[in-house]
Structure 1
Amino acid sequence: MKLLLLGGSKFLGRAYAVEALSRGHEVTTFNRGRSRADLPGVEAVHGDRTDAGDLARLVEGRRWDAVVDTSGQQPYDVSRSARLLRDHADHYTFVSSVHAFADWPARPVDEGSPTHDCPADSPPDQPAANALKAGCERAVLEGFGEKGSLLLNCGLLVGPHEPIGRLPWWLDRTARGGRLPAPGRPDRRIQLIDARDFAAFGLDLAERRQGGRFVTTAPIGRTTLGELLAHCVEATGGTAELVWTADADLEAAGVTPWVGLPFWALDQPDWEGTWNADASRAEAAGLRNRPIAETVRDTWAWLENGGRSEVTYLQGDLPLGTTAEQEARLLGAEG
């Protein structure tokens, strides 16, 4: 199969490229060539998807069996890409997000859940940020139709090469050892999918020219926060002591949910759907999730072998993790 990856050098795009090359596919990547080196074995075309001239240069003299878009953020840009590529490819996978669903994170979601009202031709940064993925989805559907469009509503991705650093932050912090605050209760369930498993499933569907929508994440209740952090402690040497801390105490210390302690979602009605995205349709179609312990071990090995240079440890403009002062306050109150 001839495959075009819009992206292809960073995290999920990289996972797609590695998986596609391992299957013997011919892979073209299109990105700006700034954030990561191109993988050996791909045909790398450098350009900006927001530049009409760069897109025209990409498609000139080329045709692909399928396109995978892991980098689309703005509906206007995705619309332009889809319009141009529909004469050069038969199938378009768009990696969307559970953020596209209007009810998330307040309510559980599945493939039938309503999406945000965001037009396919929305100009840059006009709607609310969470609505943009829904506009991107509409742009792909307008360009490739229902049969030629595959929409993958991604849950929270983890694994080697994660650039934000949610799992890397926990690994680095547990590696330092000592007592550290852990959010809420250890039995709180979470949903994390390894980017490598996401890419393998996405390629399976692209090879079959599958259309439609799939919520693509781990099964509900497959992993708890306690299990994840226990694997972090074990992978990094086993000297850290988790001190489970109530939501109210964390908030009183100024710790921000999701950012101050990654993966921490409040146990409140407005957050009820955070870890309740129904991936059963994807499982029935062949999605397989490796044990979370394997993802943790592989991520730690990657960090220890130079991976930290790829991690920003930022959620937007906000630094991940608690400060030393916050930890001291929480642990002092606990003691």
Structure 2
Amino acid sequence: MRLLVLGGTEFVGRGVVEAALARGWQVTVFHRGRHRAPAGVRVLHGDRVAPGGLGALAEGEWDTVVDTWSAAPSAVLASARLLADRVGHCVYVSSRSVYAWPPATGLAEDGPLVEGAAADAGATDYARDKRGGELAVTQAFGADRSLLVRAGLVLGPWENVGRLPWWLNRVARGGPVPAPGPRDLPVRFIDVRDLARWSLDAAEKRLSGPFDLVSPPGHSTMEGLLGACVRVTGSGAELRWLDAETIAAAGVEPWTDLPVWVPRGELHDAMHRADVSLALAAGLRCRPAEETVADTWAWLGELGTSAPLRPDRPAVGLSQAQESALLGG
């Protein structure tokens, strides 16, 4: 298989490239050159939002292109139009954020969607931009050659958002750690490598249309995730479990101040009660949560420095003052 990845040097794109190389595929990455590309790929440089920035893609043919773009849909449309006659199939990594709010419990791929930004529009907000990206790909490649991978929470090695790395680094420091509960609160996510594997399998099969991609029910819990952080770091940290009311009273925000965690309610249902039967039927397999945690910790150790963070995303995690407030000073 001849694969073109738009990006391919960070997180999801990097996971796709590594998985494709492991299969012996011929991989080309098109990126701005800000990060080193994985060894073994053909590299094309360009900036898709700059005038003439797609010039390096003017020639060449590929079986599949993978695009993970999450800003202005116009960038997706421009590259898709340029490639549609020379690439057989397009995989667009979208998001479950494209569903209209509030999504019903157990929502599947036929649920109502946000009004997407126009396919040729500039950046608006994440959900509308991702839906606009879906529309752009479908417009250029046609529905039968477009696979829309609507990912849930993505964790694992190469993470550049900082959620799991923050927990691992905090737990590694030891001592009492605020642990948002309850302990048995369900947590569902997709390891970036499982997302990549499924997407490449689907590309080989030429699957089309939307697929929600996140782990099945029962994958993990907050205790399972944070307990794994304690075990893999060997820190002996003490998890001090707190209820949602205590956390709210301290002015601590779910998801941002306490990465991954959201309390029971509408948002939790939207994130952690999706119907992924379509993806499971198409071969989705998810590794145990402890493996994701252990491999992310190993990756952080290999870096020898802090994890890379996307400049367009806010920092996550508790401040010292917030932690002190949660732990009672």
Instruction: State the TM-score, normalized to the length of structure 2.
Output: 0.94
- Could you say which residue in structure 1 is the equivalent of 2:100? 102
Matched, 1:67 2:99: no
Could you report, residue by residue, the CA deviation over 1:276-296 in whole angstroms, capped at 9, with x for unpaired residues? 122121111111111111111
Indicate which of 70, 77, 80 corresponds to 2:78: 80
Matched, 1:259 2:256: yes
Query: Quick one: structure 1 residues 214 and 224, their matched pair in 2 at CA, closer, same or farther if it must change by over 3 Å?
Result: same
- Could you say which residue in structure 1 is the equivalent of 2:156? 159
Query: Quick one: structure 1 residues 132 and 108, their matched pair in 2 at CA, closer, same or farther if it must change by over 3 Å?
Result: farther
SS in structure 1 opposite 2:128? helix
Q: Which moved more, 1:238-247 or 1:255-264?
A: 238-247
- Could you say which residue in structure 2 is the equivalent of 1:327? 323
Could you report, residue by residue, the CA deviation over 1:251-299 in whole angstroms, capped at 9, with x for unpaired residues? 2212111011111112233542121122121111111111111111111
SS in structure 1 opposite 2:210? strand
Alignment of 1:36-75 (within 5 A): 36-51=35-50, 53-60=52-59, 62-75=60-73
| Contact 1:59 1:88 (C-alpha < 8 Å) held by counterparts | no
Indicate which of 109, 112, 121 corresponds to 1:111: 109
- Could you say which residue in structure 1 is the equivalent of 2:33? 33
Matched, 1:220 2:198: no
Instruction: State the TM-score, normalized to the length of structure 1.
Output: 0.93
Counterparts of 1:13 and 1:46, CA distance in 2: 15
- The letter of the residue matching 2:16 is Y
Unaligned residue ranges in structure 1 (runs of 5+): none
Indicate which of 169, 172, 176 corresponds to 1:175: 172
Query: Quick one: structure 1 residues 189 and 307, their matched pair in 2 at CA, closer, same or farther if it must change by over 3 Å?
Result: farther
SS in structure 1 opposite 2:211? strand
Q: How far 1:105 moved relative to its partner?
A: 5.7
Counterparts of 1:307 and 1:25, CA distance in 2: 30
SS in structure 2 opposite 1:229? helix
| Contact 2:69 2:76 (C-alpha < 8 Å) held by counterparts | no
| Contact 2:77 2:120 (C-alpha < 8 Å) held by counterparts | no
Query: Quick one: structure 1 residues 310 and 91, their matched pair in 2 at CA, closer, same or farther if it must change by over 3 Å?
Result: same
SS in structure 1 opposite 2:52? helix
Counterparts of 1:302 and 1:170, CA distance in 2: 14
- The letter of the residue matching 1:13 is G
| Contact 2:71 2:123 (C-alpha < 8 Å) held by counterparts | no
Q: How far 1:113 moved relative to its partner?
A: 1.0
SS in structure 1 opposite 2:107? coil
| Contact 1:107 1:271 (C-alpha < 8 Å) held by counterparts | no
Backbone CA RMSD of aligned residues = 1.8
| Contact 2:92 2:137 (C-alpha < 8 Å) held by counterparts | yes
| Contact 1:169 1:313 (C-alpha < 8 Å) held by counterparts | no
Counterparts of 2:325 and 2:10, CA distance in 1: 37
Counterparts of 2:135 and 2:121, CA distance in 1: 14
| Contact 2:73 2:123 (C-alpha < 8 Å) held by counterparts | no
Q: How far 1:30 moved relative to its partner?
A: 0.5
SS in structure 2 opposite 1:320? coil
Counterparts of 1:104 and 1:154, CA distance in 2: 17
Unaligned residue ranges in structure 2 (runs of 5+): none
SS in structure 1 opposite 2:259? coil
Matched, 1:3 2:28: no
Indicate which of 233, 237, 240 corresponds to 1:243: 240
Q: Which moved more, 1:322-331 or 1:268-277?
A: 268-277
Counterparts of 2:311 and 2:70, CA distance in 1: 20
Aligned length: 329
| Contact 1:106 1:274 (C-alpha < 8 Å) held by counterparts | no
Could you report, residue by residue, the CA deviation over 1:105-140 in whole angstroms, capped at 9, with x for unpaired residues? 6744211112111244352124x4321111110111
SS in structure 2 opposite 1:272? helix
Query: Quick one: structure 1 residues 315 and 260, their matched pair in 2 at CA, closer, same or farther if it must change by over 3 Å?
Result: farther
